[in-house]
Amino acid sequence: TLILLIILQVVDFATTYMAVSKGASEVSPLVKALLPYPWLLLALKLTIAVLACFFSPKHKTIYYAMIILYIQAIIMNVLNTVT
């Protein structure tokens, strides 16, 4: 489960930068503020993945919702890079 969340976070990180470089705007104020600091943003994303796995055994619904939301964000990022 941790591996899946880490992969999703890294792909979201990469596709966010690709989309922004193509002119898309970031919706999240926190991510937007951290865009000039890519390593800090990646560290935050990986920390979120680790914390989610720590709490996920008790809250499976939240874990699955996170997976769905990150897949949705990745799809939107990819769509913003091709249009």
- pLDDT band of 29, cuts 50, 70, 90: very high
- Say yes or no to pLDDT of 40 above 90: yes
- Say yes or no to pLDDT of 1 above 80: no
Contact (Cβ atoms closer than 8 angstroms) between residue 13 and residue 42 = yes
Comparing 83 with 13, which gets the higher pLDDT?
A: 13
Residues 51-64 pLDDT 10s: 888 876 677 787 88
User: What is the DSSP-derived secondary structure letter of residue 76?
Assistant: H
Which residue from 13, 78, 80 is spatially nearest to 42, judged by alpha carbons? 13
> Which pLDDT score is estimated for 83?
65
Q: Is the pTM of this model over 0.85?
A: yes
Contact (Cβ atoms closer than 8 angstroms) between residue 74 and residue 11 = yes
